[in-house]
Structure 1
């Protein structure tokens, strides 16, 4: 029932088109059951020798031709009126699914692999389109045909009509059993397709690892196994279609044999005329067609229900992204004035849901056990307007986890993170992310031009840098001059045509292109050399449009220039202060600083 409610919530948006389609189908079937009457009367008139009989015959032929032409027009119109909404329903489902996916949070993607979601949107949606188009049309077409045709047949000969119903019902029962089997196979095939899509996305994302470790045979064997599963299920479906589904198509031939046999006997007994037999043969074709359509309709509906169930996994999410401040707080709330007092974190505790996949910055299981399962434990600090803060810690200490909590990529507990005294869990994500701009350690570039990648997301900004300034501040100006098409150069899928450092700098240019209150840089300078790093830091600290900056980094040039450093260890802040203060008060910071200096000296020697 949930699937049907979901379906009709979309289909009824096109109710007027469906209504006109139903009217056209009614006209089509009414004319279709009228034509055999005229055909039968025409055949009976062939026995006459009078001129009036010939004139009447010609008149009935004209009526048959006229009715056939009208049937052609009304049938074409009905198909357009049903098939067009089917495509529109498909479009609406895809648009809403994509919109929901862009608003879904990290825990949803932890439960549903991206490849499976792609398969649902691209493959499973076909079942919904068929159900909204040809499925809806067949429902009304079958109803009108099965309500009109038997009445006409009963009017000619009730007993002969009962003879005709027997083979139709037997065929329908056999095919209905076959279709029930096909539904199970269809559901299984959709699951296999989703698994194959997930596997394909995973392998393509890790293709460099596969090539680097020379494990192509393993990947190919695994892909082949998944592909063979789909082939096996598809062949089972094909066998049913090949050996059982044609039974419905033979039904019409069986009906004609019965009509010729039994009807011929009635003709000899003078209970029926030759015209009645001719009309009955025409009605037999009309009667067989809806039963053949009924089999396909059941298959279409079953496929559609399976597709709706898959699509429901996306659309039935509860996504709430709205401001839930109290009326008194809303009265003083001004989104454009956010971050006038800064950001405060108070006793933040965060634990990953059990269903989530691993994270590159996730603390180890041993560390999690020591922290009672928390990836972040009892964190408290402030970032004031104009302040530059750095986060330092070993791999797995919780740096990226903290960043993802600040911008609510992960759901955080209430009363833990505040902006100007407002709990961020009561602000909409749009309001929060208008204040906090994050540049991640894994830059993502779209398969588009360099310019469009930098401008991405800046449409609503009141002020922005010129493209020349953005390239200059991100140290990309010289590189762009060497590109064949300048800023119009296509960067390829995920920026594959660029080096790691170029991708990071373009991502940085995107972040600097428009003003931000708090600019969060998550290890974005890891792939640049020392000279470029110093230049970029100068741009970030002295020329960026951001009020404040939070940098995740272990580079010396960063630690020396920030106002405050948060030292993380196993998800906890074990020390905080400026560079000079931590050198005096923290043994771990001094050891880390000495290690960084040693690494820098070795790097200079190698250069």
Structure 2
């Protein structure tokens, strides 16, 4: 079996460049015009100087025309230079936006295995920091490449036309300066690559600290966190200062190159002037061309640096963009087929799942069904595999074929989007966005059926009275990850999100673990009697939650050890009976 050849970074980059080929093409035209105007101006300056050496009265008209041409060309050059930068920089920003959009779209489709291998802070740094190098590559580097090509084509021709010998003399110092600058920039490129990795590590640490800020405060380890952050910050500072030192050595050298050329032209060209091999105007023009010749050569070093930095950034970004997607996820069912999903229900047939790197299966040969209109409960102690089972059903975890079916469709053969249009999961760890109560409830509410009113769904989740007491009521911001709400409030708001629009199968994974007994009874009544979902799968470690369900599965160490109704299991299942009796004694909170 042969593996597909990976697309080169250049070809990958050019695919995005071709999206804006019209703007880049016009930009090239305007850069050519800019360089043509730039090499035309010194000729008129030289002519003006030579006219000054003759009879002023006789040369007055020609002198006026020459000066007027310098002014006109300079003004036109300002316009063409500005337009050329707009035509290059705007696509650069657009390509940055496209890459960010593509990266985020890819991140939203990645599965849990990808996020186990890539820390959140690293991904944030790639999308926000590393992409700057790609923007420079698509903007300033692309512009300078064509600028250098035209400058090194037109300027030497103009200089050669005046004095071939002086032109050859001017090339040597430029090459020496270019060599020194290239070495210094190569060193800077290596340091920038290391600094990029250090920034990614610092972003990961920062995300970890902010996520666990309550743990840091409760354990009083502020100093440890501050010291660790300071060490990483100092490391980046040291790297940045080293880059600054090298930059302060290289950039002045680049800046003085045209001055060296001017001294050489004056020294050698002065002899030509005395021998009348050059006119004063031609020598003046050569001095102007010296500046035009020096900067393109030196810009090559800067282009190499920015190019390498951009390619390094692009390579980093491709860690996201090249991550393969499951082909089936791009194949959507026809609307009529999608509407019929779950017409026969869900079937689990011999499900066995082993986490990557583990030797013992977490789930072992599970078999059961959830029919339309049925409410099924799953009871198990902590660590019995309940959440793993839920994540296999909703395909947060990848399972082998021929184990999970919705109707007659193998779950591995339909897209996750189609599956989740029929199956909605409310997890035991609710996630709320830093937005209003309203937007958090309505999040993801894309359905052909009319959703409940916001007040109605808040009432069903026992949140209406509490939301009415919030400062801005339904428009109150809940904070990042719902930090302004209690654990019970977050669970109930997450439940409200699940109830807002109907689904074929609603999976509740320990969603009532943070509420009191009275609230639990109210919510269970709403779920069993007022939910518009066709079927419900309730996962819990509390037997009291499952008394009203149609069928209960008892899970122990990844196996179904018994199943039946609440009354049947009380009679024959020792595990179920002991759990129920213990929780009755402890008010329903024991595990």
TM-score normalised by structure 1 residue count: 0.93
Partner of 2:4: none
Partner of 1:567: 554
Partner of 2:154: 148
Is the contact between residue 346 and residue 369 of structure 2 (CA under 8 Å) also seen in structure 1?
A: yes
Structure 1: state its 5+ residue gaps: 355-367
Whether 2:53 is the aligned partner of 1:47: answer yes
Q: 1:59-79: CA deviations, max 9, x gaps?
A: 111111111111111001101
Question: How far off is 1:105 after superposition?
Answer: 1.0
Question: How far off is 1:333 after superposition?
Answer: 7.5
Distance 1:585 1:183 in 2: 71
1:55-134 superposed matches below 5 A: 55-134=61-140
Partner of 1:361: none
Question: How far off is 1:594 after superposition?
Answer: 2.5
Whether 2:298 is the aligned partner of 1:318: answer no
2:478 to 487, 491, 495: 491
Question: How far off is 1:449 after superposition?
Answer: 1.1
Partner of 1:357: none
Distance 1:155 1:489 in 2: 75
Partner of 1:526: 513
Distance 1:130 1:146 in 2: 22
Is the contact between residue 440 and residue 497 of structure 2 (CA under 8 Å) also seen in structure 1?
A: yes
Whether 2:187 is the aligned partner of 1:181: answer yes
Q: Which moved more, 1:380-389 or 1:534-543?
A: 380-389
Partner of 2:416: 429
The verdict on how the C-alpha distance between 1:487 and 1:558 changes in structure 2, with shifts beyond 3 A counting, is same
Question: How far off is 1:598 after superposition?
Answer: 2.4
Is the contact between residue 325 and residue 426 of structure 1 (CA under 8 Å) also seen in structure 2?
A: no
The verdict on how the C-alpha distance between 1:262 and 1:331 changes in structure 2, with shifts beyond 3 A counting, is closer
2:464 to 457, 467, 477: 477
Question: How far off is 1:459 after superposition?
Answer: 3.8
Structure 2: state its 5+ residue gaps: 1-6
The verdict on how the C-alpha distance between 1:400 and 1:602 changes in structure 2, with shifts beyond 3 A counting, is closer
Question: How far off is 1:373 after superposition?
Answer: 2.4
Q: Which moved more, 1:490-499 or 1:58-67?
A: 490-499
Question: How far off is 1:547 after superposition?
Answer: 0.9
The verdict on how the C-alpha distance between 1:577 and 1:469 changes in structure 2, with shifts beyond 3 A counting, is same
Partner of 2:346: 343
Q: 1:478-524: CA deviations, max 9, x gaps?
A: 11221122111111111111111111111101100111111001111
> Secondary structure of 2:452's match?
coil
1:228-377 superposed matches below 5 A: 228-320=234-326, 322=328, 334-354=337-357, 372-377=359-364
Question: How far off is 1:30 after superposition?
Answer: 0.6
Question: How far off is 1:321 after superposition?
Answer: 5.2
1:430-469 superposed matches below 5 A: 430-469=417-456
Question: How far off is 1:179 after superposition?
Answer: 1.3
Count of equivalent residues: 584
Question: How far off is 1:19 after superposition?
Answer: 0.4
Is the contact between residue 249 and residue 292 of structure 1 (CA under 8 Å) also seen in structure 2?
A: no
The verdict on how the C-alpha distance between 1:292 and 1:282 changes in structure 2, with shifts beyond 3 A counting, is same
> Secondary structure of 2:47's match?
helix
Question: How far off is 1:240 after superposition?
Answer: 1.1
Distance 1:481 1:451 in 2: 12
Q: Which moved more, 1:337-346 or 1:390-399?
A: 390-399
> Secondary structure of 2:506's match?
strand
Question: How far off is 1:599 after superposition?
Answer: 1.6
Q: 1:434-487: CA deviations, max 9, x gaps?
A: 111001111111111111111111144431101121011111111122112211
Distance 1:152 1:427 in 2: 67
Distance 1:460 1:81 in 2: 43
TM-score normalised by structure 2 residue count: 0.96
